[in-house]
Structure 1
Amino acid sequence: MDLTKRPRRLRTDGIRPLVSETSLAPADLIAPVFVDATTKKRIPIESMPGHERVPIDEAVPRVKEVLETGVKAVILFGIPETKDERGSRAWAQDGVVQQATRAITEETDAYVITDACLCEYTEHGHCGVLEAGAPEQEHVTVDNDETLDLLAKTALSHAEAGADMIAPSGMMDGMVGTIRTALDGAGFEHVSLMSYAAKYESAFYGPFRDAADGAPAFGDRRHYQMDPANAREAIREVELDVTQGADVLMVKPALPYLDIVASIRETFDQPVAAYNVSGEYAMLHAAADNGWLDLEAVAHESLLSIKRAGADLILTYFAEEIARQL
């Protein structure tokens, strides 16, 4: 045994921080904010302890709470007052996200990202216009090309409201190129796109669907979200979004897909984002509530692992808690 090689020499308190390879900062984090047009008061989200739906007139105070922790970026999700088959409130000028975005950008210096998808706005809870006969099918099929036009209208309405970045999340083929063309054609070349480039059909989304009232009324999303078994497919998906003009590449979920985060980081030059999703958040809270885990410690370690895998940005419901620690 060669005892001249002793890795433990670099683990003492004096040197350990100096040789640490990965670090977290509040600037790495994006905080989700849920704005609800159906309520006049804040509503706790039971499956996501510490988070609430806030009414439109509470959007600015809520974002200011985030900013006080050192986190500078938020992503807005909207719960509309009404829904229909096409999700028309998604692109309404007086829609929930549009109103919140205008207020937040006027009254704060937060970097505002808006989620562009139809699932919160459709009666059926799917991410686009359904093909004929879809309600009778076991696995729902969304009309990809018709949905693209609606996503472009939604993105334009967000840009007009003042969004800094738009995040299309529906996993429609061609969504990045369609939205980029629409934005550029309307003079919004400066608005960036963070594509949910590798979004898996995951079982970890449950609490979010409760929070955003976006659960499918029937069927599932397996025909448009990625198969959790596939890794090479993620590279193909991401490459398409890169060629269409995506500025940031998102992997969702994060923890079960750290190999995907690492592969994308190694393959592409664009910034990589990872979404530490609601199920990942909720399960750590549940374990901590039972006294099995130290919540602050495991939350920090989880986010550190996402950063170590190669994520530049992390969307996380732990954003404020971790930022306070840091």
Structure 2
Amino acid sequence: MTDSSAPRPALSMLDLVAVREGGTVADALQIALRTAQHAEQLGFARYWLAEHHNMAGIASSATAVLVGHIAAGTARIRVGSGGIMLPNHAPLVVAEAFGTLAELHPGRIDLGLGRAPGTDPATMRALRRNRVETEEDFPRDVAELQRLLAPAEPGQRLIAVPGAGTNVPIWLLGSSLFSAQLAAQQGLPYAFASHFAPRMLHQAIDLYRNLFRPSAAWPKPHVAIGVPLIAAPTDDEAEYLASSTYQRVLGILTGDRRRLLPPVENYAAQLQPQERAAIGDFLAMAVIGGPDTVRAGLQRLADATGADEFMLVSDVYDPALRLRSLDIAAQAHGMLWGERQRLGAGG
């Protein structure tokens, strides 16, 4: 049954900037910009880039640079990090980078922060040098970033220039309860990484909402959830296109990371049962199918989570079909909540 009182979640997008098999990094960066421009035309709320390092199939390692590139090539959509992996960076450097972006693109920059390394141990050591992270570091670094992006206080010795006074919105990202609790305590918006780690989604959202302390910028809790999405005119075609995502996920699970591969007919049928089960667990929040299936999937997620935003992740090998996937999702989203509004008005 459709709950006409449920909020209408905004549509946003998280881009890992996949390097496709047979393509180049330059191609991947151009595809990301075209996708962001298309998402803006569809009315998406924000477009985020994710920090990953030393991965052949992902071109978003210099995340702040990419945020600036995407923001410069668009006009209205918010652009940001989903996220900056804070343990890899000094808070002052992050504040200066995102403060610069905020001065270049006022009112359009988001700073999503994660506490995972976003890479393998060897690369983590290369990024952090001799730094050893403790559990207390992340909350302390978040607090320092909040101070650096706020207006400078009289007598403040460390000032981010640019950065101070830009008040770039900080989001906390996570796939466990740690960041959910910290976001609630600090009155910050929270994005759950259910596009790859959905197991604790409901527990984290409940914890965040129950513990949320209103802040000046965020008087109410605000939840975004990651949603793997592959849409096509038919369920069969969507399942075929999703085989690129299935191959990527299996590579992550087995340590065989590659570039984004072309789709394969009947790919899932060729896998071992345990491989299919592992991919299914990874993609438990995925919405894959034709327009009716997508519409039902978005409704199911909205009813189950009450999310304020769906952060779509769409790994389609053919860039044009990826844009079509977003078109179908936006249409299904608009039809679904248009129907909810009509039911609410008529009830």
Which bin holds the TM-score, normalised by the shorter protein? Answer: 0.5 to 0.7
**Number of corresponding residues:** 227
1:191 matched residue in structure 2: 168
2:308 matched residue in structure 1: 312
2:98 matched residue in structure 1: 155
What is the deviation of 1:302?
Answer: 3.7
CA deviation profile, 1:210-245 (whole Å, cap 9, x unmatched): xxxxxxxxxxxxxxxx4xxxxxxx2x6434334445
Equivalent residue runs for 1:1-326 within 5 Å: 20-22=4-6, 24=8, 28-34=10-16, 43-44=19-20, 56=29, 59-77=32-50, 89=62, 95-104=65-74, 108-118=75-85, 128-129=87-88, 147-162=90-105, 163-170=108-115, 172-184=138-150, 185=152, 186-196=163-173, 199-200=174-175, 226=176, 234=177, 237-244=179-186, 246=188, 248-253=189-194, 255-256=198-199, 257-268=201-212, 269-277=220-228, 285-286=242-243, 290=266, 295-296=289-290, 297-308=292-303, 309-317=305-313, 320=326, 321-325=328-332, 326=334
**Structure 2 counterpart of 1:71, one-letter code:** F
C-alpha contact 2:193 2:226 (8 A) present in aligned 1: yes
1:274 aligned counterpart, secondary structure: strand
2:209 aligned counterpart, secondary structure: helix
Moved over 6 A (4+): 78-83, 281-284, 291-294
1:117 aligned counterpart, secondary structure: strand
What is the deviation of 1:295?
Answer: 1.0
Report the TM-score, using the length of structure 2 for normalisation. Answer: 0.50
Equivalents in 1 of 2:101, 2:222: separation in Å? 22
Equivalents in 2 of 1:77, 1:270: separation in Å? 23
Equivalents in 2 of 1:176, 1:53: separation in Å? 33
C-alpha contact 1:56 1:100 (8 A) present in aligned 2: no
**Structure 2 counterpart of 1:316, one-letter code:** L
Per the alignment, do residues 155 and 66 of structure 1 end up closer, same or farther by CA in structure 2, a change over 3 Å counting?
A: same
**Structure 2 counterpart of 1:62, one-letter code:** T
1:311 aligned counterpart, secondary structure: coil
Identity, in percent, stands at 13
C-alpha contact 2:37 2:73 (8 A) present in aligned 1: no
Per the alignment, do residues 22 and 45 of structure 1 end up closer, same or farther by CA in structure 2, a change over 3 Å counting?
A: farther
Equivalents in 1 of 2:68, 2:54: separation in Å? 13
C-alpha contact 1:265 1:311 (8 A) present in aligned 2: no
CA RMSD of aligned residues (A): 4.5
Per the alignment, do residues 272 and 312 of structure 1 end up closer, same or farther by CA in structure 2, a change over 3 Å counting?
A: same
What is the deviation of 1:299?
Answer: 3.8
CA deviation profile, 1:48-78 (whole Å, cap 9, x unmatched): xxxx985555654332211333323211346
Equivalents in 2 of 1:180, 1:298: separation in Å? 41
2:282 matched residue in structure 1: none
C-alpha contact 2:98 2:168 (8 A) present in aligned 1: no
Equivalents in 2 of 1:154, 1:80: separation in Å? 18
Equivalents in 2 of 1:271, 1:315: separation in Å? 13
**Structure 2 counterpart of 1:179, one-letter code:** L
Equivalents in 2 of 1:237, 1:81: separation in Å? 25
2:311 aligned counterpart, secondary structure: strand
What is the deviation of 1:30?
Answer: 0.6
What is the deviation of 1:312?
Answer: 0.8
Equivalents in 2 of 1:181, 1:283: separation in Å? 48
**Structure 1 counterpart of 2:180, one-letter code:** V
Per the alignment, do residues 240 and 31 of structure 1 end up closer, same or farther by CA in structure 2, a change over 3 Å counting?
A: closer
